[in-house]
Amino acid sequence: MVTPHPPAGPQNQAALPTDWAVQLLTARYIIEGALPIPETRLVGHLNNSVHATLTLHNGQLLSLGAQATHFRKPLLEVTIPKPSLIVLIPRDAAGVRSALSQIPERTERAIIHAGPFLVRGAFHLPGNMPLHHLFNVGGGDMLPLTEVEIRCQLLGARITTLHAEVVVLNKSIVHLYHPGDAFES
């Protein structure tokens, strides 16, 4: 007996995703939404100076701080200038894979002070480069970090701690960073 094969065609092909689920952290907002998948890897796309903004679809907007406002309806489109982005957190497997592609294996853990956030994570360093040289090299403002914990330092903030396998950090927003793995209380 021959087992029939399902006919080939669009009805049997899984639709490829067109967006990545992401969270964007700015000095005043957390924005959750769908980032259209770029033609390049995530970090390269974020470092592309031709595109000065990021646009998310179906964005949920939460303002930080004691007077935080949550916009109940999803916003069809939310656009932010890249210089205001502090951290981008991929929230699906495809976005995570893209952010992790082509990063050096050697890591050094650090605490990063950026905007209202303390970020604990692992920088990925090429060769034997010391951590303090990382911000002196070119290649754009956006850097991936892995094994990340983010704490909001605003009094009365509605979110306190976020965790992620990988994030992309805007180094131009960083106030300071230092080697370490423990948040000081």
- Would you kindly state where each structural domain of the chain is located, as residue ranges? 19-179
pTM (2 decimals)?
Answer: 0.86
Closest CA to 57 of 81, 82, 37, 27: 37
| pLDDT at position 56 over 90 | yes
What's the average model confidence in pLDDT over 10-36? 82
What's the average model confidence in pLDDT over 55-77? 81
AA identity, residue 123: F
pLDDT, position 86: 97
Select the more confidently predicted residue: 17 or 182.
Answer: 182
Q: Mean pLDDT over all residues of the chain?
A: 86
pLDDT, position 159: 79
- Paired tokens of 135: 């911000």
CA 84 to chain CA centroid, Å, is 13
Closest CA to 20 of 89, 116, 103: 89
